[in-house]
Structure 1
Amino acid sequence: MKKTAVILLAAVVFVVAALSGCAKDSGNSESKTSAESKKIKIVTTIFPEYDWVTQILGSKADQAEVTMLLDNGVDLHSYQPTTEDIAKVKSCDLFIYVGGESDEWVSKALKDSTNKKMKVINLLDVLGDSVKEEESKEGMMPEKEEEEDGSDEPEYDEHVWLSLKNAKVLTKAVAKEIEALDPENANTYGKNEAEYLRQLSALDEKYKKAVRRSAGKTLVVGDRFPFRYMVDDYGLEYYAAFAGCSAETEASFKTISFLAKKVDKLKLKNIATIEGSDRKIARTIIKNTGKKSQHIVTLDSMQSTTSEDVEKGKTYLGVMTANLGVLKKALQREE
């Protein structure tokens, strides 16, 4: 009888302990879920937007859940959102996107949003009148669709992030919205913004200095040219095979010949391309120059940046600093 009572007592103690453990685990789980639900959910389309957000968050990065939709190397012009991407946009607290022709899918996603308090930043809207129309330069391959439909409707150059001046304006807009979403840490975000703007301005001055010192003021690009905002900032000239938003990949002999003659006339030592290029057009241009000895340099437009690149430490400022070195080479002329 005593033995039975001891067994029963042990069983009761075991059950109570088990229930207590479950309650404790449940409490931890609920606490974790609550903490996650309090995080600001920020969704960005492209890498520069993502990096600006992380720079503003700084040490408070744990206060937000930040998503970069274009994280696998697909550029803005080819991107098609998945069902999961749309769901993230619909439920986030802050959505940041470029706002050009490539983002036509956004309007429906925002219309069906489940978070009616969502804040939205459209880069082109923020920049207003400083947004430029896509430019067709002498010698550049025309877009096939332009030839076919003859449309006069303007197409805006979406690559606004490639201007440090624009980056400063856009960073301020991003900081303002993050501070509004998390007023408790607004002071920290404000300090991070001020420091980041200082770094952007310092790099901008380096670009100005480099251009002033350069004998050459024109570059030739055997590729698409998404850097119009950059060259306009510093009064530079350029010639390219295609416009920045072009989907064309084959250049005519007329375009190749035109660009080769420009290289000869300008006595350029280097021809530029952009990241991801197979360099085929640039090499063909070189073959058609007089010296045939030019080198190929690569500018990074940050359209193919992946999440893996981010994990390895890639930043907007880092890329723009590297682009300055490439720009110097692209402007070099033979003595």
Structure 2
Amino acid sequence: MPMPPSRRLALVTGASLVLLAGCGSSSDSGSDGNASQRPASSSLIPVVASTNVYGDIVEQIGGAKVDVTSVISDPDQDPHSYEANTQNQLALSKAKVVVENGGGYDDFIDRMLKSSNSSAEVINAVKVSGKTAPKGGELNEHVWYDFPTVRKIADNVAAALGKADPGSAAAFTKNAETFKAKLQPLETKETQIKKDHGGEAVAITEPVPLYMIDASGLVNKTPAEFSEAIEEGDDVSPKILQATLAQFTDKQVKALVYNEQTSGPQTEKAEAAAKAAGIPVVPVTETLPQGKDYLGWMTANVDALASALDK
């Protein structure tokens, strides 16, 4: 099922929405609307990515040929509560390529595209992944934690950029192949975790890292009612909270994988219970931490998971 509107990336709309004229192109656009500027050039392919995760992937493949605006780039910003601004709208109106997550995660992109009459090539990561909701369950839309999906996204980005700049198509394809080759060590590490720790139980606060957890052969023991409530911004019932905390006090799990970007009183109780029981906590985020690229970020995530399980 799509994520409830209260937890989706929200779009500020209204009759007063006016496109800002004369703004330069930007490489990132954070929640405050301020962007780091670089000279605009008609030779660059303007690209908008819903988050800096996809923005970085585009930059890895497009190199010096792209001008990327990442709508969400602040590592302290909860993507679920993000409010877009007029600068985002302007960037989308100029984009030749747009990369969105889809799956209800960043619906504001589609709404802004419609209002700007954009003709951009749109890459929807969830559609590219081919993933669907399990019977009776909800889709885990956090597909950037799934490396086979990221491989497909890289190919789609290269194709879209090649369409925008046919003369550079071969270079984009080559860059995508280089990027995908660098994903292989991450998949190898997941395979090693599965070999060493397959079947072991872990806990989560949200579904964000589940693709990485599944690929590593681990079992998520957290009550679904807990992680779903946290993701949707709802309160967890005392009974479910007690069952969640018991995972740690009874040492039913080997690690807690904790989404730092949506912490609150109930997730903090889970973190405190894990630490009190001597259970390692593995922090993860939904967007790139400051100074990290996608590959370095994911390498750190997989290494941290392996290290926690080895303790």
- TM-score when scaled to structure 2? 0.75
> How many residue pairs align between the two structures?
269
How big is each residue's C-alpha offset from its partner over 1:90-117, in whole Å with a ceiling of 9 and x where there is no partner? 221111111222433333322233553x
Tell me the amino acid that sits aligned with residue 50 of structure 1: G
1:300 lines up with 2:249 in the alignment: no
Tell me the amino acid that sits aligned with residue 315 of structure 1: D
Which stretch has the larger CA shift, 101-110 or 75-84?
A: 101-110
Superposition map of 1:171-182 within 5 A: 171-182=154-165
The structure having more radius of gyration, on CA atoms, is 1
Tell me the amino acid that sits aligned with residue 245 of structure 2: A
Contact 1:273 1:296 in 2 (8 A): no
Tell me the amino acid that sits aligned with residue 42 of structure 1: V
Cα distance change, pair 261–245 in 1 and its aligned pair in 2 (3 A) = closer
Q: Runs of 5+ in structure 2 lacking a partner?
A: 1-38
Cα distance change, pair 244–175 in 1 and its aligned pair in 2 (3 A) = farther
1:316 lines up with 2:294 in the alignment: yes
Cα distance in 1 for residues equivalent to 2:255 and 2:139: 29
Shift of 1:75: 3.0
Cα distance in 2 for residues equivalent to 1:318 and 1:109: 31
Tell me the secondary structure at the aligned position of residue 112 of structure 1.
helix
Cα distance change, pair 274–40 in 1 and its aligned pair in 2 (3 A) = same
Contact 1:97 1:122 in 2 (8 A): yes
Could you say which residue in structure 2 is the equivalent of 1:165?
148
Aligned with residue 42 of structure 1, among 26, 30, 47: 47
| Structure with the higher helix share, 1 or 2 | 1
Which stretch has the larger CA shift, 262-271 or 173-182?
A: 262-271
Cα distance in 2 for residues equivalent to 1:298 and 1:228: 13
Aligned with residue 71 of structure 1, among 56, 70, 73: 73
Superposition map of 1:16-165 within 5 A: 36-58=41-63, 61=64, 63-72=65-74, 73-116=76-119, 118-128=120-130, 130-132=131-133, 155-165=138-148
Could you say which residue in structure 1 is the equivalent of 2:221?
239
Cα distance change, pair 131–169 in 1 and its aligned pair in 2 (3 A) = farther
Tell me the amino acid that sits aligned with residue 209 of structure 1: Q
Shift of 1:70: 0.7
Tell me the secondary structure at the aligned position of residue 98 of structure 2.
strand
Tell me the amino acid that sits aligned with residue 316 of structure 1: Y
Cα distance in 2 for residues equivalent to 1:177 and 1:245: 36
Shift of 1:325: 2.2
Contact 1:157 1:245 in 2 (8 A): no
Shift of 1:87: 1.7
Aligned with residue 303 of structure 2, among 325, 330, 334: 325
Contact 1:300 1:319 in 2 (8 A): no
Shift of 1:159: 0.7
Contact 1:40 1:65 in 2 (8 A): yes
Cα distance in 2 for residues equivalent to 1:279 and 1:80: 20
Alignment identity in percent?
25
Cα distance change, pair 90–245 in 1 and its aligned pair in 2 (3 A) = farther
RMSD: 3.1
Tell me the secondary structure at the aligned position of residue 189 of structure 1.
helix
Cα distance in 1 for residues equivalent to 2:136 and 2:279: 26
Which stretch has the larger CA shift, 171-180 or 69-78?
A: 69-78
1:183 lines up with 2:166 in the alignment: yes
Cα distance in 1 for residues equivalent to 2:309 and 2:219: 10
